[in-house]
Amino acid sequence: MSTKTSIAFIGTGVMGRSMAGHLLSAGHELHVHNRSREKAAALLERGAVWHDSAGEAASRASVVVTMLGFPRDVEETYLGPGGVVERSRDGALLIDMTTSSPVLARRLESAAAARGLQAIDAPVSGGDIGAREARLVIMVGGAEAAFERAKPYLAAMGKNIALQGGAGAGQHCKMANQIACAVGMVSWIEALAYARRAGLDPARVLGSISGGAAGSWAMTNLGPRALAGDFAPGFYVKHIRKDIGIAVASARELGLDLPGLACAERLYDKVAGKGWEEFGTQVLYRLYTSL
């Protein structure tokens, strides 16, 4: 995109710093805030401007993008005193890319509209690899006009971008994604645990089954990490547990029983009980190898 836009990016963690970097590479003026400044250091070296609060960063931009950890962080950042909604410029576009609650997404859009702002929920899938390679899947909820305005910025960070419906629809789509991810993670980890217990070489089994009907992105990308004992986070256990909790609550509101998701929830609760919440989701394999 040739037009330079002032963008505030709030949340420069494992995924956020890569996403913000793509906006910087696209030629935009970038204002950043994160709880720990060191995680924004690489962006600052490239010319991004640091701000001591999310509200301050928002006050300098016409587009605000957030990539945070938990719904409570989103609520505080947007709706708290001196937050994004209060301090954003008139007519600003707010893009929350955090995986959060559909109910909260609707609250944010309503609060933004009351101030003459546009807001969309745009959670992503693809993990640290997708963020680095700018090929995230981006699931959007909100008004079509806001979506059209956001598309050029979203296109700098992802490849598969779709408007799912009104406010909160992006979060509902992400919940569907996370249900598939959480339950799918259990399936391929159990397959590798079975292969190991049967005396097979799990890596060789992985090579055989990942390219067939049993294959998945997670199996292909996280399976080798799990087998190598590499549990560094592309996506944290603490975050999948948060997402599972939102999905369980949303399913309950919809009157839907999801036993596969309940199983994944129990297993990741066990993982957390081992003190492994700061590891990547593939650490679930370690639970089976320690049995």
Per-residue b/e over 201-239, b at no fewer than 16 CB within 10 Å? Answer: ebeebbeebbeeeeebebbebbbebbbeeebebbbbbbb
Handedness of CA 169, 182, 69, 14 (dihedral sign): negative
Q: Do residues 166 and 143 touch, judged by C-beta distance below 8 A?
A: yes
Instruction: Answer for the pair 43, 17: CB distance below 8 angstroms, yes or no.
Output: yes
For residue 94, the cross-strand partners are 64, 119
Identify whether 151 is a catalytic site residue.
no
Separation of alpha carbons 204 and 267, rounded Å: 26
Measured CA to CA, the distance from residue 57 to residue 109 in angstroms comes to 19
Which of the residues 174, 238, 242, 270 is marked catalytic? 174
Catalytic residue numbers read 174
